[in-house]
Amino acid sequence: MNSHTVLLINPPRINGFSWTREGRCQEKEDILGTVKPPLSLALIAALLRKNKIQFKLLDATALDLESEEVCKWLAESKFHPDAIIYCTTTATIVADTEALSILKKKFCAKLIAFGAHLSGAPSETLEKIPDIDIGIMGEPEYTILDILNKDNLENLDKVEGIVWRNGKEIKITKNRPWIEDLNMLPQPAWDLLPLEKYTLPFINKKYLIVETSRGCPFACDFCVASINHGVKFREKRPETVVDEIEDLIKKFNIKNFNLFGDTVTLNKKFVEKFCDVLIKRSLNIRWLTNTRADTIYDLDLVKKMKKSGCWMLSIGIESYNEKTRNDMQKKLETDKITQAIRLLREIGIITFGFFIYGYPGETEQDMYKTTRFALSLPLDYANFYPAVPYPGTAFYTKSMNNGYMDSNSWDKMEYSSYIIKTKDLNETIVKKAISHAYRSFYLRPQFIFRHIKNIGLKNFFTGFVKYSLKFLSKNLKYAMPKGARRL
């Protein structure tokens, strides 16, 4: 048995802003003002507890703690970690590591980082950020257990799936196989986190994340899903997922859940069985998830999803232009998008569409056509993002090879920046188009009326107005582009 003491930490806020650092979701949460539960850290905590490894779990973002306050908390707890483990992203890795380096120095601890960025740029990351001792590539759970089973956290050649420092040398070990049986993973240690801090935007309801699957067989070139979990689709048994939901209801009286996976609705049989079990057990929950439009076509199944508690689906639409989607390797037909959104509206499931602006090959006019397309669909909500080339993705490679990168600064690889430059597009043009898209979508009277219908008048005034002011002030600050009113 080893004697390591481990701090699992969701790093402090950056300039007052919280960030999503989970899986393929890498974004600043200042717009909606909510904090997402750190699923991976909670899952790792459960594994450490099961293996009797001494640890503490702290969400410094949710508790709004600075590094100095974390140091004080650890001192008061008389807990001196020799390993500090954190999840990070491309845009936050420098700031996250700087914040945690204060703890590293105080406790003479090893910094162990994981997340899509480490999988996408392992050697480069340790070269640029000397305070990181070990980076984890791929799924972190069992890799972390293997690391902590080493007495001195030094001789790591036989640990699969890591990049690490051996003196002045940076070494990479062979890839760790993806976890085949997700049913063997324990339930996350949510009891160690401040659950009152995790609420759904607009409706202010507590919620938790329940993982259903990993891996995505699709090859969208901008997405880090395959970097995180590979292309092989693996899923839990429907009964296992419902058992976890039922346990969370009993333990924490939580009735709102986000089903987490790269393509949750890919397997029709899973979705059908999951809904059947939920309905049979009469759990009366509300759940939401993400999906691909071409998996939503069966009227009876969508009705069953609604009956089981599904109230919202997020759908990646990306562009009005099928050619652009093909360039992205999205391989999604326009009529499948329209069919899915209309079917969900008919059944009464709220839809949240996601669009990408400024992909190489687009023109300024293409972006406004995408806005028109978004307005033509019966969507309830929409997000409009600039194209971001994350390290490790095919889009990043394409951008580097074709000279599209206007900047290679990691902290600018996030949705409030645009670092691509082509003969037709630059940051000013793309941000204006995005601003116009938000204005056009959210300032329509029909949107306001429908949103009140979706969430109720009380939630509209207590939640939506507050979030909307932040949301619109963030996204409408760029000038209306010339000619935009013609849309």
List Cα–Cα distances, 223 to 7, 226, 246, 395, 463, in angstroms: 30, 7, 32, 8, 31
Q: Comparing C-alpha atoms, which of 260, 324, 328, 338 is closest to residue 293? A: 338
Task: In whole angstroms, give the CA distance from residue 446 to residue 451.
Answer: 8
Which residue carries 């001792």 as its tokens?
A: 133
- Looking from the CA of 303 toward its CB, the CA atoms found within 13 Å total 3
> Cβ atoms within 10 A of the Cβ of 372, count?
12
In whole angstroms, give the CA distance from residue 112 to residue 92: 15
For residue 260, is it within any domain?
A: yes
Q: Compute CA 126 distance to the chain's CA centroid, rounded to the nearest angstrom.
A: 23
Q: CA–CA separation, 137 vs 116, rounded Å? A: 8
Which one-letter amino acid corresponds to residue 435? S
Cα 465 from Cα 476, distance rounded (Å) = 16
Does a structural domain hold residue 106?
yes
- The answer to whether residues 264 and 357 belong to one domain is yes
pLDDT tens figures, 123-132? 999 999 999 9
Domain of 355, CATH number, reads: 3.80.30.20
- pLDDT (tens digit per residue) in 212-263: 999 999 989 999 999 999 999 999 999 999 999 999 999 999 999 999 998 8
How many residues are present in the chain? 487
Is the domain of 108 the same as that of 75? yes
In 10 A of CB 31, how many CB atoms?
20
Q: Rg (Cα) of the chain, in Å, rounded? A: 22
Q: Both 117 and 165 in a single domain? A: yes
DSSP string, 259-319: EE-SSTTS-HHHHHHHHHHHHHHT---EEEEEE-GGG---HHHHHHHHHHTEEEEEEEEE-
How far apart are alpha carbons 97 and 111 in whole angstroms? Answer: 8
For the whole model, what pTM was predicted? 0.93
Determine contact, residues 217/233, Cβ cutoff 8 Å: yes
Q: What dihedral do alpha carbons 178, 180, 184, 189 form, nearest 10°?
A: 30
One domain, residues 203 and 157: no
Token pair of 260 as six digits: 């987490």
Amino acid at 55: F
Query: Are residue 13 and residue 154 in the same domain, yes or no?
Result: yes
- List the CATH number of the domain containing 106: 3.40.50.280
| C-beta atoms surrounding 146 within 10 Å | 16
pLDDT given for residue 471 in this prediction: 56
Are 160 and 199 part of one and the same domain? no
Contact yes or no for 334/317 (Cβ under 8 A): no
- Binning the chain into helix, strand and coil, the percentages to the nearest 5 are 40, 20, 40
Residue 240 near residue 274 (C-beta atoms within 8 A): no
Do residues 103 and 70 touch, judged by C-beta distance below 8 A? yes
Q: How many domains does the chain have?
A: 2
Helix 465-475 and helix 427-442, axial crossing angle in degrees, nearest 10: 150
Q: Are residues 39 and 93 in the same domain?
A: yes
Asked if 71 and 104 touch (Cβ cutoff 8 Å), the reply is no
Residue 476 within any structural domain of the chain:
yes
CA atoms within 13 A on the CB side of 340: 23
One domain, residues 279 and 203: yes
| Domain-embedded: residue 72 | yes
pLDDT by residue for the chain (487 residues), tens digit each? 468 999 999 999 998 888 989 877 778 875 556 789 999 999 999 999 999 999 999 999 999 999 999 999 999 999 999 999 999 999 999 999 999 999 999 999 999 999 999 999 999 999 999 999 999 999 999 999 999 998 878 889 999 999 999 989 999 999 999 999 999 999 999 999 999 999 987 778 899 999 999 999 998 999 999 999 999 999 999 999 999 999 999 999 999 999 999 889 999 999 999 999 999 999 999 999 999 999 999 999 999 999 999 999 999 999 999 999 999 999 999 999 999 999 999 999 999 999 999 999 999 999 999 999 999 999 999 999 999 999 999 999 999 999 999 999 999 999 889 999 999 999 999 999 999 999 999 998 888 777 777 666 666 555 555 555 555 555 555 433 343 333 3
The answer to whether the CB of 209 falls within 8 A of the CB of 152 is no
Please report whether residue 98 resides in a domain: yes
pLDDT value of residue 151: 80
**CA pair distance 292, 262, nearest whole angstrom:** 10
What is residue 478's predicted lDDT score, i.e. its pLDDT? Answer: 45
177 within domain boundaries:
no
**163 and 199 part of one domain:** no
* 428 and 331 housed in the same domain: yes
Are 365 and 460 within one domain?
yes
What is the number of other CB atoms lying within 10 angstroms of the CB of residue 181? 9
Q: Which of 172, 205, 238 is the last residue of a domain?
A: 172
List the domain range (segments joined by +) for residue 33.
5-172
In a shared domain, residues 100 and 236: no
Q: How far apart are CA 94 and CA 131, in angstroms?
A: 10
Q: How many CA atoms lie within 13 A of 60 on its CB side?
A: 28
